[in-house]
């Protein structure tokens, strides 16, 4: 995964609440076992009819917003299924940052693993930013400086737990870090846990 530093782009606004991961990435494409190249399936049933013909009016297919790397939406974005394909489809399509009043928690966790920045901001601020996006405002999301700018004006600070910010900035492989830095702690914990709750370690469940 490549690190997230800063982006500058238009913003695409979907003023709608509870956009779920089934809408973002329909279940039937979960049969594909890839994680790359899923952009074409993003919001598939909003963008295409049954026969694959494009539908009118979907914001990410409407010029000039098809190039937007920032998506702005109502609360509960990414609620529902845990499918990471929702994130892979967004990044595959070119979306790098989603701004909403709140997110599905599993979605937000998945985003973090894939360099997609989720930015939770107050509802009325999101509505204001969304309106600016509709007028074609330029967004700058800078994770090093921790600021969100709309038309060169700082509108919010980016307030992420430091561990998450560093992970995004550096695009680290989390398993590598855990095995390298916490391997001993994990083993130590495991040994204690085995003593305290031996019934969890009787290797009988095969």
Partner 1 sequence: MGRTLYDKLWDSHVIRAYDDGSALLYVDKHLLHEVSTPQSFIAIEKKNRRVRRPSANLAVPDHVVSTVDRHLPIADPLARAQTQRLVENVARHDIPFIPLNDKRQGIVHVIGPEQGFTLPGIVLACGDSHTSTHGAFGCLAFGIGASECGIVMATQAIRQQRARTMRVNFVGERSPFVTAKDIALALIARIGANGAAGHAVEYAGPVISAMSMAERLTLCNMSIEAGARVGLIAPDETTFAYLRGRPMAPKGEMFERALAYWRTLPSDSDAVFDRELTLDVSQVEPHVTWGTSPEDAAPIGSRVPSPDDEAEPTRRERRRRALAYMGLKPGEALENIAIDVVFIGSCTNSRIEDLRAAAAVAAGRRVADRVKALVVPGSGLVREQAEREGLAKIFLDAGFEWREPGCSMCVGMNGDTLAQSQRSASTSNRNFEGRQGVGGRTHLMSPAMAAAAAITGHLTDVRKLTGAAS
Binding site for partner 1 (CB under 8 A): 15-18, 20, 22-23, 26-28, 30-35, 45, 50, 74-76, 79-84, 87, 102, 104-106, 109-110, 113-114, 123, 127, 161-164, 173-176, 178-179, 182, 185-186, 189-190, 193, 197-200, 202-206
Report in angstroms how near the CB of residue 1 gets to partner 1 at its nearest.
9
Nearer to partner 1, 2 or 197 (CB): 197
- Shortest distance, position 155 Cβ to partner 1, whole Å: 19
Least distance CB 129 / partner 1 (angstroms): 13
User: What's phi and psi for 49, nearest 5 deg?
Assistant: -85, -175
153 vs 159 by CB, closer to partner 1: 159
What's the min distance (Å) between Cβ of 43 and partner 1?
11
The phi and psi torsions of 15 (rounded to 5 degrees) equal -75, 75
Lookup: tokens for 121: 């901001």
Backbone φ and ψ for 30, nearest 5 degrees, come out as -70, -10
Q: Pick the closer one to partner 1 by CB: 37 or 67.
A: 37
Two structure tokens written together for 92: 């595959």
Tokens representing 16? 């709608």
Q: What angle do CA 103, 109, 114 make, to 5 degrees?
A: 110
DSSP string, 62-76: STTGGG-SEEEE-TT
**CB-nearer residue toward partner 1: 31 or 152:** 31
């Amino acid at each position: 995964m490549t690190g997230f530093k800063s982006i500058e782009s238009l913003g695409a606004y979907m003023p709608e609440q509870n956009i779920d991961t089934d809408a973002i990435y329909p279940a039937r494409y979960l049969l594909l076992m890839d994680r790359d190249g899923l952009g074409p399936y993003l919001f598939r049933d909003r963008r295409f009819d049954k026969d694959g013909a494009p539908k009118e009016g979907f914001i990410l297919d409407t010029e000039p917003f098809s190039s937007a790397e920032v998506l702005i939406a109502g609360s509960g974005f990414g609620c529902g299924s845990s499918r990471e394909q929702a994130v892979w489809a967004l990044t595959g399509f070119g979306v790098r940052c989603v701004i909403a009043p709140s997110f599905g928690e599993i979605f937000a966790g998945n985003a973090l693993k894939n360099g997609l920045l989720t930015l939770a901001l107050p509802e009325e601020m999101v509505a204001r930013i969304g309106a600016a996006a509709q007028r074609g405002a330029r967004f700058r999301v800078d994770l090093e400086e921790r600021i969100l700018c709309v038309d060169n004006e700082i509108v919010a600070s980016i307030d992420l737990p430091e561990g998450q910010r560093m992970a995004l900035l550096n695009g680290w492989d989390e398993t590598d870090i855990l095995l390298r830095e916490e391997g001993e702690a994990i083993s130590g914990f495991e040994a204690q846990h085995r003593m305290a709750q031996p019934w969890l370690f009787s290797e009988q469940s095969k």
